[in-house]
Structure formats: structure tokens, C-alpha cells
Amino acid sequence: MPFVDEAKIYINGGHGGKGCRSFDRSLYFKHPKPNGGNGGHGGDVVVIADNKIHTLLDYKYQQHFSAPSGGHGGSNNKQGRDGQDCIIKVPLGTNVIDFETGYLLRDLEEHGQKVIVAKGGAGGTGNNNARVVGEGKPGEKRTLKLEVKLIADIGIVGFPNAGKSTLISCLTNARPKIASYPFTTKAPVLGNLEIDDTIMTIADLPGLIEGAHEGRGLGDRFLKHVEKTRILIHLIDISGVASEPIKNYQALNKELKFYSGALSAKKQIIVANKMDLPDSKNNLEEFKKVIKKRIYPISALEKRGIEELLKAIKKEYEKTISA
Ligand SMILES: Nc1nc2c(ncn2[C@@H]2O[C@H](COP(=O)(O)OP(=O)(O)OP(=O)(O)O)[C@@H](O)[C@H]2O)c(=O)[nH]1
Ligand SMILES: [Mg+2]
């Protein structure tokens, strides 16, 4: 099943019901008495966050949504019934954007949060209230872009082939595809990491490369998923077999910076992977000389160094919670 993180939908508020033209002609009155009721209000289109919905996949197949019209007014001053609202359910963390203007209408983060995206039209007046009977107003029309940001506590970033998917499958129950070629992971994968009593969500992200912000590789479009994480794990292939670790580390930080200041300011746990390979030890020493920060050496393949890393993750996570 493809991972859908964006959708474009067309929405229409319900049309207001027609006002009624009718007269009470009973002999009781000298002149016929107008008694046509007002039309009902058209239904609104409402987008609502629902914790049972996990993707926008449904909106790939159905893109047009209209709320029902209001009922027409009737004789004997009968008001038309209001149209029901048309409800569009989306996952938590969905940004609801006006497609034409790019304006963010609402960021729906919690279950039950909602936003009216197209109002229904008002019902027309009946002749009991006005001389001219109203037709009812059309509902608002809009095109929306829905965009889901995954809400994860920790994001794993790194160059393609660094071993991000291997790491998440060693830390959690997630089982993404692992392969020796770049760009194996095409969409974010989530896993739950449980350390003692703390449960954290980790996202394994598609690899980034230099120029990602200009669309190179798979581009930086998945970075929006990590904007809300608390911590980043910056994973480096320290073996030097395929690329230069120091250059990659710096290039990736540059890409994060290009994407957003908030992202590049996030706490990073720097992890040197593939320590089981021959040149890794020397490369790590070189790396430490240039990048004077705490680095966690691991082998995701052989599951070594994982205990230390878990401790660091928990410590940093708790810091962000108490901050
Ligand atoms: N020797 C060694 N190989 C590793 C280690 N971790 C991962 N690999 C290998 O590196 C290759 C890439 O691993 P992935 O986990 O798919 O890498 P990725 O970062 O998710 O790659 P993309 O999804 O393409 O960005 C695979 O062939 C893995 O078996 C490790 O610790 N040591
Ligand atoms: Mg991967």
C-alpha cells in the first residue's frame, strides 16, 4: 500500500433551500395571507481529526465532497430542514490548507479537533417574511490540500544506505525493507521504542543527500515529518566504504538548515554505524578530531553499542519533556 501523505480535495457547502410562496386562502381572512416558510440552511463541510484514521489514502480515490442542500420551505410557515454537515475524517497531525492561496486553515492535532472548511448557503426567505421569495444561497466552494505530518518523538536522519532502516528494526518492531542500494526507503516508517516504562515513537526516514532542498534524491519533502520530533538521531556510515563520513555529516546538517532553522536547532544524537567494518575505527578517530561532539559507535547489523545508545535516547528524551 502506498504511503499517502498529501491529498487534494474539492468541497462544496450545501445550497440553501428555497423559500416557499404560499397563501392561506381560508375564508377566515379577507385577503389571502402569505404563509410560505423559509428554506433550510445548506450543510457545512467539516474536516475533523480522528485517531482511527492513519492515512489520506481514501482521498486518493474520492476527491469530491458536497454537503446536502437545505430543504425547501413549505406552506403553513413550515421551515425547510437544515442540510446535514459533510464530515471529512483525517489523521491526527493533518494540515488543512486552502489550495488556491496556500493559507493554512488549521493544524488538526488532537482527536475531535475540527474546522469548517466550506459553509453551507443560507436558506431563502419564504413569503411569510418577505414579499419576494428567496432562492437560497449557494454554499462555499473550495479546493483543499491535506497534508499529514507524522507525529514522532524521534527521527532518524542520514544519507542513503547509512543503515537507518536496519537501526529502526533493531530498536523496534518495525520491519522496513533493508537493501544495499540507496533510496530503499521511499516513505517514512514508524516504530515504537519502549525503554523501561517510556514509550517513544521513532520515524525512519528516506535518505537525504546534498541538494535535497533543491529536490535532489527524494528531496526534502519528508522532513516536514520530523519538524515536530523532540530529538534527531543523525546516523552516519562510518565505514567510509561508500562515502566520506565527515563530508556527509556536514552536508546533511546543511540540508536541515536549508529546510528550517527549527529543524537544525533540534538536539541530535550522533551515531556512527557499521563499526564492524575494517576502516571504521580509524574513520571514527578522524571524525572525532573534526567534529568535537559526543558520538555513539554502533553496529546496527550486529546489534552492538545499542545499550549505550538506548540510554542516551532516554536521557535526551526526558530532558525535552522536563524542559
Ligand atoms: N556491515 C554493516 N552493514 C550494515 C550495518 N547497518 C546496515 N548495514 C547495511 O547497509 C545497507 C543499507 O542499510 P539500510 O538499513 O537499508 O540503510 P538506509 O539508511 O535505511 O538506506 P535508505 O533507505 O536507502 O536511505 C544494507 O545492506 C545493510 O545490511 C552495519 O552496522 N554494518
Ligand atoms: Mg531505509
Q: Are residues 167 and 254 in the same domain?
A: yes
Q: Residue 1 falls within a domain, yes or no? A: no
Q: Whose CA is nearest to atom 14 of ligand 1?
A: 163
Ligand (nearest to CA of 170): 1
* Single residue among 99, 128, 148 that ends a domain in this structure: 148
Q: Residue 309 falls within a domain, yes or no? A: yes
Q: Are residues 14 and 130 in the same domain?
A: yes
User: What is the total count of domains within the chain?
Assistant: 2
CA distance 77 to 33: 11
Q: Are residues 77 and 137 in the same domain?
A: yes
Q: Are residues 139 and 159 in the same domain?
A: no
Q: Tell me if 147 sits within 8 A of 221, measured CB to CB.
A: no
Model pLDDT, residue 315: 94
pLDDT in tens, 214-261: 888 887 877 877 777 889 999 999 998 878 999 999 999 999 999 988
CA distance 279 to 260: 34
Q: Are residues 160 and 294 in the same domain?
A: yes
182 lines ligand 1 (CB under 6 A): yes
Given a cut of 70, is residue 2 above it in pLDDT? no
Q: Residue 110 falls within a domain, yes or no? A: yes
Q: Are residues 204 and 78 in the same domain?
A: no
What's the gap in Å between 187 CA and the centre of ligand 2? 9
Q: Tell me if 56 sits within 8 A of 90, measured CB to CB.
A: yes
Q: Are residues 197 and 77 in the same domain?
A: no
CATH at residue 270: 3.40.50.300
- The residue type found at 227 is E
Q: Residue 35 falls within a domain, yes or no? A: yes
pLDDT in tens, 97-107: 999 999 999 99
Q: Are residues 131 and 233 in the same domain?
A: no
Q: Kindly indicate the confidence band of residue 4, based on its pLDDT and cuts at 50, 70 and 90.
A: very low
- 131 CB contacts (<8 Å, ≥6 apart)? none
Provide the sign of the torsion angle of the four alpha carbons 208, 212, 213, 218, taken in this order.
negative
pLDDT in tens, 105-128: 999 988 999 999 999 999 999 999
* Single residue among 113, 148, 183 that ends a domain in this structure: 148
Ligand (nearest to CA of 184): 1
Q: Are residues 220 and 283 in the same domain?
A: yes
Query: What's the domain range around 90?
Result: 6-148
26 lines ligand 1 (CB under 6 A): no
248 lines ligand 1 (CB under 6 A): no
pLDDT in tens, 177-214: 899 988 888 878 888 898 988 888 898 988 988 888 88
pLDDT in tens, 27-67: 777 888 999 999 999 999 999 999 888 778 789 889 999 99
Given a cut of 70, is residue 3 above it in pLDDT? no
Q: What percent of the chain has pLDDT over 70?
A: 98
Q: Tell me if 83 sits within 8 A of 120, measured CB to CB.
A: yes
Given a cut of 70, is residue 150 above it in pLDDT? no
**What does the block give as the cell for 291?**
567534529
Taking the model in full, what pTM does it have? 0.67
Q: Residue 182 falls within a domain, yes or no? A: yes
241 lines ligand 1 (CB under 6 A): no
CATH at residue 64: 2.70.210.12
From residue 149, give the alpha-carbon distance in Å to each of 107, 152, 173, 264, 286. Answer: 10, 9, 21, 18, 37
* Single residue among 125, 148, 171 that ends a domain in this structure: 148
**Residue to mutate (ligand 1; options 161, 204, 296; most atoms within 8 A of CB):** 161
Which of 242, 66, 80, 46 has its CA nearest to residue 158?
Answer: 242
Q: What is the mean pLDDT of residues 284-307?
A: 96
Q: Residue 82 falls within a domain, yes or no? A: yes
Q: Residue 258 falls within a domain, yes or no? A: yes
Given a cut of 80, is residue 323 above it in pLDDT? no
